[in-house]
Amino acid sequence: MKTGLTTQILPAGEAAVADAARCLAAGGLVAFPTETVYGLGADATNPAAIARLYQAKGRPSFNPLIAHVSDLSAGMRIARFDATATALANAFWPGPLTLVLPKTQDCAVADLATAGLDTVAIRVPAHPVARAVLHAFGGPVVAPSANLSGHVSPTTAAHVQSDLAGRIDLIVDGGAVTVGVESTIVGCFDAPMLLRPGGLPRGEIERVLGRALAQMPDDANSDNTQPLAPGMLASHYAPRTKVKLNADRIEAGEALLAFGSDRVPGATASTIVMNLSPRGDLAEAAANLFGYLRELDTKGARAIAVMPVPDHGLGEAINDRLRRAAMGRE
């Protein structure tokens, strides 16, 4: 269902940033690059804009959004930072870390964006285009990944266009993103808790904390009305093609998503192969992951067979997204 909007696509630059800020102020929807994935931005204080955003993505409205701000002091106007949150913000912002914190009493972020929770997710992105848009707009911008709900997150402007053309006002094209998986989300509760592995490896956060992050309880998301990290619903990252994990051989008609050496039993000259990182580099694999899943999903393969990816560092986020892709859409 298209909403019949004309979606403008502008190359990143001063004119595009000024247009983006104007469009956000007028209640519009603007996609722009962050270092993790492309985000779909709306004025965080404008409930009508946020309602349009949920509609454009086809996203269940109980799934709350991340408020993007330009620096820690802007963050402190919408959320209460304890010593742990301040230490994490100082260590990793701007960067691929989102903190879930208690709202301040006069938090300007609309209730619709936080889905009625008394916490708010905040992030200061590092990408120069995102920073320029936030600076020009001058207020918090909610931005989920700029994909249709249930699709993999976009890492190029072309991905955004293929999901959202006709549904949003503007796409600022700043080229391919560098990190490629979404931000790591930490809930600053009594014990800081890893809510979503992502572009900042757990080990770096634990080094700053001086202790291990608490793990989300297994049943944290079983109650769909108030889940701890509601976006972590099992069916979130699914391509249409079936995904098979930890493949050590492939069957006829399957495509291969490789990591490291891509010589796998069963592969023939006609096997479609995309290699996340021939040299076995996890950062390179994260940057390629969503684009390669999207591309392999267009090949009409019987399944996408995925070779094992080591689980350390960025591998934790890569394997999390691959597991969700393999669970399929419900």
Instruction: Kindly list the residues in this chain that would bind ligand TXA in the complex (CB under 6 A).
Output: 34, 36-37, 39, 63-66, 98, 100, 114, 117, 119-121, 123, 143-145, 182-183, 185, 195-196, 229-232
State the number of CA atoms in the 13 A half-sphere of 114 facing the CB.
23
List for the chain the helix, strand, coil content (%; round to 5): 30, 20, 50
Closest distance between ligand TXA and the C-beta of residue 302, in Å?
Answer: 29
Q: How far apart are CA 163 and CA 174, in angstroms?
A: 17
Residue 98 partner contact from Mg ion, ligand TXA, none using kind-dependent CB cut-offs of 5 to 8 Å = ligand TXA
Q: Which residue has the tokens 């998503």?
A: 257
Please give the DSSP secondary-structure letter assigned to residue 106: T
Closest-CA residue to 142 (of 125, 155, 128, 165):
125
Closest-CA residue to 110 (of 169, 43, 61):
43
- Neighbouring C-beta atoms of residue 4, cutoff 10 Å: 7
Closest distance between Mg ion and the C-beta of residue 100, in Å?
Answer: 15
Which pair of tokens denotes residue 269? 């000259």
Q: Which lies closer to ligand TXA via its Cβ, residue 34 or residue 156?
A: 34
Q: Which lies closer to ligand TXA via its Cβ, residue 143 or residue 257?
A: 143
Which pair of tokens denotes residue 4? 């019949």
Taking CB under 5 A as the binding criterion, the range among 72-80, 139-147, 262-270, 306-314 that sits at the site for Mg ion is 139-147
Site for Mg ion contains 145 (CB under 5 A):
yes
Q: Which lies closer to Mg ion via its Cβ, residue 17 or residue 97?
A: 97
Q: Which lies closer to ligand TXA via its Cβ, residue 178 or residue 271?
A: 178
Q: How far apart are CA 21 and CA 24, in angstroms?
A: 5
Closest-CA residue to 146 (of 255, 202, 135, 133):
133
Alpha helices, DSSP H, located in 96-147: 111-114, 128-137
Taking CB under 5 A as the binding criterion, the range among 73-81, 84-92, 143-151, 216-224 that sits at the site for Mg ion is 143-151
Residue 256 partner contact from ligand TXA, Mg ion, none using kind-dependent CB cut-offs of 5 to 8 Å = none
Closest distance between Mg ion and the C-beta of residue 153, in Å?
Answer: 5
Residue 100 partner contact from Mg ion, ligand TXA, none using kind-dependent CB cut-offs of 5 to 8 Å = ligand TXA
Residue 221 partner contact from ligand TXA, Mg ion, none using kind-dependent CB cut-offs of 5 to 8 Å = none
Q: Which residue is nearest to Mg ion (CB)?
A: 145
Using CB under 5 A as the criterion, which residues of the chain lie in contact with Mg ion when the complex forms? 145
